[in-house]
Amino acid sequence: MTLKLFNSGSTIKEAFRPLRKNVASLYVCGVTPYDTTHLGHAFTYTVFDTLGRYLMHKGFGVVYTQNVTDIDDDILRRSKKEGRDWRELGDFWTRRFLDDMKSINVMRPTHYVKATASMPRIIRMVGRLLEKGFAYRSGNNVYFDVKKFPRYGSLSHFNTRQMEMLLRERGGNPLDANKRNPLDFILWQGWTEGEPYWNTPWGRGRPGWHIECSAMANEYLGDRIDIHGGGRDLIFPHHESEIAQSESYTGKRPFSRFFMHTAMVMYMGEKMSKSLGNLVLVSHLIKTHTPNAIRWLLLSHHYRQVWEYDEQGFDEAEHFSEMIGRLHVGRNTVDGSADESYMSEFEQAMDDDLNTPQALRMFGALLDNGKDDATARRIARILGFIV
């Protein structure tokens, strides 16, 4: 059976074949650590944790890089508001995020990288983009010139008007007088009094958001990668801009063979977000629910389908969490041979664009049957449950 994944760029399911034989490279955009971890974050990182585990089950080695955006406008604003050093603020919330992910059995990526640790690669990329004519200096900033990249918009499939509207909504400034084009984006932001800075040939300052991820992906995974992931709200401008600057820098395409995006998690009728404050926190849920129940709840929703959090969803999740717990203490604690017909049914669901809801329905029936602990333990581990 062949694993097929939905590619946001082509908008169809495609057979997964890695660039390197038997090794899959995965880059997932991480958190900006200035506040707490909510269930929307947990959904994204549990999905890609499960993908990594399943790829390993399929026989692939997995090299997984996830970043920490530890220098950013949001961090600097929050540190100023709290009178707190920006590094200390970022380190505090990064530790909290990692603790939350560990509590629901999300594995650490192969490379977990701070943007500030990749500053030499960031500066090299910005310099090369200037040399090749894809970027320009204006005011104290360096911008990427989207007119030099005709495929800009090919991932999001938005037209110019739509992209300008989304840019305004998502923190960009299409009216920036230093830009040649409203959609041009900052590669390097000139220094402002009181902010941290790094020295470069074009002046002191700090990196733009998009170039940070391109640099970390390039440094740890190479010029081209197999899968790039993140929340659906990152398609534009973040991932669109990553493609433009990465392919312009390397001269190779595609930057990523697959782009996978998780759907938004809703609560009280709105997207769960820090700005709205309608948050369900992992650190709170773990006090009243088992790690396996939280993971079951998350995986019971397909990663591309928007869903709304409801506490009643834990009724089923806790039932099966208890069943999984019995696998550990049951009479057959040593794994035997798994039922290959059952494994084939499980893999058929997972090979269809990581259809975890279907896989859980099958797994739940197996658990309720209670007669094949070896197969149940094997599936539980693939899905990341604690056994």
Q: Which of 265, 298, 332 is the last residue of a domain?
A: 265
Residue 183 sits in the same domain as residue 293: no
Question: What is the count of structural domains for the chain?
Answer: 2
CA–CA separation, 209 vs 248, rounded Å? 17
Residue 80 sits in the same domain as residue 38: yes
Residue 39 sits in the same domain as residue 117: yes
The reply to whether 13 falls in a domain is no
Domain that holds residue 311: 289-382
- Quick one: pLDDT at residue 14? 98
The reply to whether 10 falls in a domain is no
Q: What are the CA-CA distances from residue 143 to residues 148, 162, 181, 208, 348 (Å)?
A: 12, 20, 10, 9, 46
Pairing of strands 225-231, 256-262: parallel
* pTM exceeds 0.85 for this model: yes
Residue 308 sits in the same domain as residue 237: no
Q: What are the CA-CA distances from residue 370 to residues 68, 318, 331, 363, 387 (Å)?
A: 42, 16, 11, 11, 15
* CATH number of 163's domain: 3.40.50.620
- Quick one: pLDDT at residue 169? 87
Residue 320 sits in the same domain as residue 174: no
**Which run of H or of E encompasses 259?**
strand 256-262
| 278 exposure class (CB count in 10 Å sphere: 0-12, 13-18, 19+) | middle
Strand, coil or helix: 258: strand
- Structure token pair of residue 147: 């007119």
Angle among Cα 231, 294, 298 to the nearest 5 degrees reads 35
Q: Write the CB contacts of 62 (distance below 8 Å, at least 6 apart in sequence).
A: 23, 24, 26, 52, 55, 56, 110
Residue 62 sits in the same domain as residue 200: yes
The reply to whether 313 falls in a domain is yes
Q: Which of 232, 265, 298 is the last residue of a domain?
A: 265
Q: pLDDT tens, position by position, for the chain (387 residues)?
A: 799 999 999 999 999 999 999 999 999 999 999 988 899 999 999 999 999 999 999 999 999 999 999 999 999 999 999 999 999 999 999 999 999 999 999 999 999 999 999 999 999 999 999 999 999 999 999 999 999 999 999 999 999 999 999 998 887 888 899 999 999 999 999 999 999 999 999 999 999 999 999 999 999 999 999 999 999 999 999 999 999 999 999 999 999 999 999 999 999 888 888 777 789 999 999 999 999 999 999 999 999 999 999 999 999 999 999 999 988 655 444 555 777 888 999 999 999 999 999 999 999 999 998 777 889 999 999 999 999
Residue 33 sits in the same domain as residue 136: yes
Residue 157 sits in the same domain as residue 47: yes
* CATH number of 378's domain: 1.20.120
- Quick one: pLDDT at residue 278? 84
Q: Write the CB contacts of 302 (distance below 8 Å, at least 6 apart in sequence).
A: 263, 353, 354, 355, 356, 357
